[in-house]
Amino acid sequence: MFGYLIGRLSQAVVVVFAMSIIVFVGVYAIGNPIDVMIDPGATQEIRDKLIRQYGLDQPLWQQYFTFVSNVFHGDLGRSMIYNISVTNLVFSRLPATVELVLVSVVIASLIGIPAGLYAGYKPNSLGAKLIMALSVLGFSVPTFWIGMLMIMGFAVELGWLPSGGRGEVAEFLWFNTSLATSDGWAHVIMPAINLSLFKMGLLIRLTRAGMVEAMGAEYVRFARAQGLPDRQIVFSHILRNISIPIVTVFGLELGSTLAFAVVTETVFNWPGVGKLIIDSILQLDRPVMVSYLVMVVILFVMINLIVDLIYARLDPRVRLKGDS
C-alpha cells in the first residue's frame, strides 16, 4: 500500500506542475488586463506604471516562476479589480459554493442510487422505464435551460421560492452558512436541484448497470438458494460489490461539480466561486483566473488521489499491483 501511495503522489505532483504551466500560458494569452483597468485616454506614463506595478513587463517565464514562488509562500497574488488578496477573495466565496455542491451531491445520491437499484432490480417494469427516461433527460437537457424553467415556474409564476441569491446566513460550527436558516434553504434548494440533475442521471445509469450485471452472478443465486430475502441480498451483497465504480464516479463527479458549478451559480446569481470566475474572465482579472484554475487542478488531483486510495482499500488487487 505504501508503494502504491508513493507512486500516486509522484504522479500527482507531475500533473499539477504540467497543468499549472498550461493554465498560466493559456490565461496570459487571452488579452491584456491593462486595457480593461484604465481609461483609453490615459497617458502612456500611467499605462507603463501599471504594467511595472503588476510585473507585466517581465518575460512570461519569469512571471510564471514568480507566481510559483509566491504560491509556495501562500501568496496567490492580488486581484487587479477588487485590489485585495486573491486568497481572501476566493475563500470568501468558497463557502457558498461548497454548501451548494454538498446539498446537490446529497440530493443526487439519495435519489440516484436507490432509483438505479430499483431500475436494475425490475428492469422491465413501468417504473424502471420511467426512471431511465428521466435519467436521459438529466444528461440531455442543458443545465441553464432547466434552471431558467425552474425560476419561471417556482419563483415567477408560483412564487414559492426566491429566484436567486444566497439568502440569510447564520453561524454554525464556526462557519457562516445559509444552511442554518430557513431562508437560506429556500434560496439553495432550486440551484442545488438544478446542479444535481446530471449527477443524478449518471448515478442512476451506473447503479442500474451494476445491478443488472450482479443479478445474474453466482453469489446472488447462491444467496437466494440459502433463502435470504431479496432486500438483504440487494443491500448487503449486491450494493457492496458494485460500490467500487459508484465510489469512483462519485468522487470524480464531486470534483467536477465544485469546478463546474459556474453555470448554475450564474443562472441563480449564487455568490460563489463560479460566479467570481465568470466576473474575473469578463474583466480579465488574471491573478484570480490563474489562481482559481490552478486550485481546480489541485482539487481534481487530490480527489482523484483519495478516490484511488479508497478504490485500493475496497479492492486488494489494486494495492497489491501498486506495491509490486
User: In this structure, is residue 302 part of a structural domain?
Assistant: no
pLDDT band at 30 (very low <50, low <70, confident <90, very high): low
**Does 296 reside within a domain?**
no
**Per-residue pLDDT tens for 87-100?**
888 888 888 888 88
State the pLDDT at residue 320: 47
Which residues lie below 8 Å from residue 4, measured CB to CB, with a gap of 6+?
Answer: 312, 318, 319, 321, 322, 323
Residue 164 belongs to what domain range? 87-282
Are the C-beta atoms of 262 and 277 separated by less than 8 Å? yes
For residue 313, what is its C-alpha cell? 482499500
The residue ranking higher by pLDDT, 76 or 272, is 272
- Is residue 315 situated within a structural domain? no
In a domain, 196, yes or no: yes
Render pLDDT for 197-219 as a digit per residue (tens, 0 to 9).
Answer: 888 888 888 888 888 887 777 77
User: DSSP letters along 33-67, please?
Assistant: THHHHS-TT--HHHHHHHHHHTTTTS-HHHHHHHH
CATH of the domain at 114: 1.10.3720.10
218 in any annotated domain? yes
DSSP E strands in the chain: the ranges are 170-172, 175-177
Instruction: For residue 14, tell me if it sits in a domain.
Output: no
What SS3 state is found at 177?
Answer: strand
Question: Count of domains in the chain?
Answer: 1
pLDDT band at 105; cut points 50, 70, 90: confident
Domain membership flag for residue 313:
no
pLDDT at residue 210 in the model: 81
CA dist 139 and 161 (Å) reads 25
- Spatial neighbors of 34 by CB under 8 A, at least 6 apart, are 47, 50, 51, 54, 56
